[in-house]
Amino acid sequence: MIGICFQINDWVLCIDENKLYRQDREVSAEPRLINLLHFLAEHAGEVFGREELIQHVWDGAIVTDQVVTQSIFELRKLLRDGREENLSYVVTVPKRGYKLVANVQRLDGNPYVSRQEESTASDVCLADDIDDVEDAVPEIVFPAGPLTRAVCQSQQPKKSSKPNVSRWRLNLLNAIWIGLVIVAMGFFTVQQSQVRITQVVDTHLIEFKFQDGFHAQALTHELADGIAQKLMADLTQVSDYRVILGKTAYSSGILPGKSIMVRVNDKDGHEFLDLELKNNSSDAVLFSRQYPLDSQHLASVLKSAEWDVMQALKIPNAEQQAQRLLVDFPRQPAALGLYVRANHYLNVADRQQFQKGIYLLEQVLKLEPDNHYVQAELLIAYHVQQALSPDQALNQDRMLVLSEQLQQVSYSPQAVVQPRIYEALALQATVENQVEAATRYLAQAQGLRESVLSYVLQGKHAELKGDLDGASDAYSEAFYMDTSLETYLLCENLVFHSNLKSIDYAMYRSVHPSVVRLL
């Protein structure tokens, strides 16, 4: 087959087939990964930013930087192909973008397919030569003399007295194949007649979604995501509902009983926060409201939104609960706006965007230096940054100061300690190998609410005890709450590296779709 092919180190990329070949390996990949690798191969050694990749690979379509980051991640895993040695194909150039560092050669065709065709052709030619030799054997001419005729007849090959069993074997093989086909058709007919349940509605599961990519201004995107993160965290603290962030579309499995859509719209120069609560079982809208979004009144808008959502979900003492959840939040309007925006950047895997979230939290603490809730968020952010970017140097002095300030708050009998503070202290104690203190802080945090971070820490503690089954359950629960690349990287690299391929293969397989497990 003739098509566009490239030799990339030991891989052969075939564009027309959407496949990669290497030795005895043949791997199919998604078209977006093939298109991305094709573009990088055409420009090997050149550095391209995300905007350039979106312009050339996605033809300028409206996609987020997260889509590019996810595609680069999957492409690296695809080219590595499960090999343990340190292979570099696509590297990150800090503050510039990505480039392909491999020996690239354009090919006229696929050498692996050509090799198979040559092998097949050689077998055919060999068979033809054998037939020609057999046809070339001359018939024996009997001479007139009787003695000579007798000698010649004795030299002729005698016909085998055994019956010809080739046709009998062929008929037996055909009968076996026909029998197997009949059995398979009967099996699939029975299977199709059985009732199959592909989705089950979980009435205690709420999916949060935020509007993504519909606005030209990035601020509206940041606010929508930040508010969704805030509502999701608070709802788990005051109710028995479980929450997930709607980043992945599921075709089967558990369907959330309810969903909450968060939008920030801009109309005539004024911004509005739209909330919609929907029952997925009946497809009925349970609650829908629009709030004028003013930076000077952001705290009151958040309080009203939380109160209304809790009332719609029939949570007891909704007004008091909403008031209590905002006790430790930044009080200054400017600081609160920075904090909500930081929530957006602290939930992405991109190094530069995550660093911007840390910068925004530092700005909040400059306005309100004694805000312990923000201190906890900042301490957690520094550790998460190390997990997402292992080569990033930690600000140890700053983290030590934050840890000491939070410990003083936890010891105060008058203080109302938020679960996020306990989670930050549990994370810091785990890093410092203070197992007893870390276990105590984690139990206090999970006694107030469940979160992705608490389940990741629970999995790390289980690994330290040698309980790999418990670690697998905890990591799966964290990944279920927030099915994203960021959560996977936290489970893999937070505090210490975990081999998720052996601990939780199902989660590993969902992030590495090109992996082939050989029996």
Continuous segment of H or E residues that includes residue 77: helix 65-80
Least confident of 265-269, 490-494, 512-516: 512-516
DSSP character for 295? G
Q: Which range among 219-233, 277-291, 400-414, 454-468 shows the weakest confidence by mean pLDDT?
A: 219-233
Helix, strand, coil percentages in the chain from 3-state DSSP, rounded to 5: 55, 15, 30
Q: What is the pLDDT of residue 381?
A: 92
Give the model's pLDDT for residue 140: 42
CATH number of 198-326: 3.40.50.11830
Distance, in Å, from the CA atom of 110 to the CA atom of 113, rounded to the nearest integer, reads 5
Q: Say which residues have a Cβ less than 8 Å from residue 440's Cβ, sequence separation at least 6.
A: none
- Per the CB < 8 A criterion, the answer to whether 89 and 100 are in contact is yes
Q: Are 109 and 5 in contact (CB under 8 A)?
A: yes
Q: pLDDT at position 244, please?
A: 77
Three-class secondary structure of residue 131 per DSSP:
helix
Q: 270-279 and 284-292 as β-strands: parallel, antiparallel, unpaired? A: antiparallel
Q: Which residues pair with 272 in a beta bridge?
A: 265, 292
Which amino acid, residue 368? E
Distances (CA, A) of 442 to 272, 422, 451, 453, 494: 38, 7, 11, 10, 15
| Section 470-496 average pLDDT | 86
Model pLDDT for residues 163-200, shown as the tens digit of each residue? 555 778 888 888 899 999 999 888 877 666 555 555 67
Decide if pLDDT at 267 tops 90.
no
pTM above 0.85, yes or no: no
- Asked whether the predicted pLDDT for residue 452 surpasses 70, the reply is yes
Six-digit token string for 440: 């105590």
* Mean pLDDT, rounded, for 453-457: 93
pLDDT surpasses 90 at 59: no
Q: Taking the domains of the chain in order of start, what are their residue ranges?
A: 5-107, 198-326
> CA–CA separation, 269 vs 150, rounded Å?
116
Encoding tokens for residue 377? 């968020």
Q: Which of 386, 237, 432, 411 is nearest to 325 (CA)?
A: 237
Interval 143-152 mean pLDDT: 42
Q: What is the pLDDT of residue 470?
A: 92
User: Tens digits of per-residue pLDDT, 239-260?
Assistant: 878 777 776 555 446 788 899 8
261 neighbors 224 (Cβ within 8 angstroms): no
> Model confidence over 322-351: pLDDT tens digits?
677 777 778 888 888 888 888 888 877 778
The CA-atom distances, in angstroms, between 40 and each of 17, 101, 110, 325 are 18, 9, 19, 48
Question: How large a percentage of the chain has pLDDT more than 90?
Answer: 16
pLDDT for the residue numbered 68: 87
Q: Supply the DSSP symbol for 497.
A: -
Residues 6+ apart with CB under 8 A from 324: 416
CATH code reported for the domain at 5-107: 1.10.10.10
Supply angle C-alpha 293, 296, 298, rounded to 5.
50
